[in-house]
């Protein structure tokens, strides 16, 4: 019989967050004799992004909209950990908190789900594409300016329901989320990394705790669960964003891969009309993942300028896009 030691997990109230929490819970139980199903609790927390689920994210402030309330609960001691889709976490960590464990990253690709089961390149002119991401909006415009883009908010199930009800002809989602929800069979078009470089940390789940948490048994179990290559790659991606003061609303893609002892970091920046402003790949020894990321950030600033990068953080135009005749 395992000894009881209560752990409270804080997550968003969504099926995807629940799936991520259950995955972590299973791994935690396997990694330690201290914890079992009866000693690990899930607490659902409404975040600002969930409450204001019809507004444009960039107009709500952008940074931390899906994590702020969870982080506050960790700092206040009401929960022990927060489980996050790391692409939602601001690149600059909240004081008093840290990511101590990374679950193995799933496929980082973006995908298209279309009512006609067509790929992005085969959709008829004027088709309505749904997304809430400024990055994805810019990438779609870079690929095809003859499609309509319409704001789409809500959790995965809500977005798919709106598609099926005919509000959209197609929607762009994260492949990893669909895999976790066992809905990947709905995919019409799996975008290659070359076509659609993903957002920083897309597909990665991070376990966040308070710096002052000194539960040795818990920390030992987390170290067993931690997927090192995911941590190294995603930490580099976050460092690129931090170094240029960008966030999840910026039209920035950053993706790192690891092959043996070498890390490859690619970054792209677009303007809001879909023009590619920056595209570069750098590589080096995996032990230099953060210095390499800082080097990438410096290249971006030198080429584009910090003022221009800051301007890209907010879309001044209407999010919805209609092709010009």
Active site members? 88
Helix (H) or strand (E) holding 279: strand 276-285
Distance CA 146, CA 127 (A): 8
DSSP secondary structure letter of residue 200: T
DSSP classification of residue 33: S
Helical segments of 77-185, H only:
134-143, 156-164, 175-180
Residue 264 · residue 283 · CB < 8 Å = yes
Do 183 and 113 form a contact (C-beta atoms < 8 A)? no
Cα 275 versus chain centre, distance: 23
CB neighbours of 169 closer than 8 A, spacing ≥ 6? 114, 115, 116, 123, 127, 128, 129
């Amino acid at each position: 019989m395992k000894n009881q030691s209560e752990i409270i997990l804080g997550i968003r109230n969504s099926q995807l967050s629940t799936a991520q929490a259950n995955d972590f819970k299973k791994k935690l139980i396997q990694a330690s004799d201290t914890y079992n199903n009866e000693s690990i609790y899930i607490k659902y927390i409404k975040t600002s992004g969930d409450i204001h689920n019809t507004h444009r994210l960039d107009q709500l402030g952008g940074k931390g909209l899906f994590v702020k309330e969870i982080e506050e609960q960790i700092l206040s001691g009401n929960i022990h950990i927060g489980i996050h889709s790391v692409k939602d976490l601001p690149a600059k960590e909240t004081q008093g908190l840290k990511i101590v464990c990374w679950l193995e990253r799933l496929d980082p690709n973006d995908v298209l789900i279309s009512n006609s089961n067509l790929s992005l390149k085969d959709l008829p002119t004027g088709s309505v594409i749904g997304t809430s991401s400024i990055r994805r909006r810019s990438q779609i415009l870079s690929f095809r300016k003859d499609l309509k883009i319409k704001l789409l908010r809500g959790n995965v199930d809500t977005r798919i329901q709106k598609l099926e009800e005919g509000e959209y002809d197609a929607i762009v989602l994260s492949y990893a989320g669909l895999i976790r929800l066992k809905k990947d069979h709905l995919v019409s078009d799996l975008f290659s990394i070359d076509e659609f470089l993903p957002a920083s940390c897309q597909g990665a789940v991070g376990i966040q705790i308070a710096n002052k948490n000194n539960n040795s048994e818990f920390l030992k179990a987390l170290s067993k669960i931690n997927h090192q290559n995911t941590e190294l790659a995603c930490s580099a991606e976050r460092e690129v964003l931090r170094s240029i003061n960008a966030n999840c609303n910026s039209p920035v893609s950053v993706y790192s891969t690891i092959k043996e002892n070498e890390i490859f970091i690619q970054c792209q920046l677009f303007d809001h009309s879909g023009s590619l402003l920056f595209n570069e790949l750098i590589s080096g020894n995996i032990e230099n993942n953060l210095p390499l990321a800082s080097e990438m950030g410096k290249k971006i600033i030198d080429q584009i300028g910090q003022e221009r990068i800051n301007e890209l953080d907010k879309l001044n135009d209407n999010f919805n896009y209609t092709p010009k005749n």
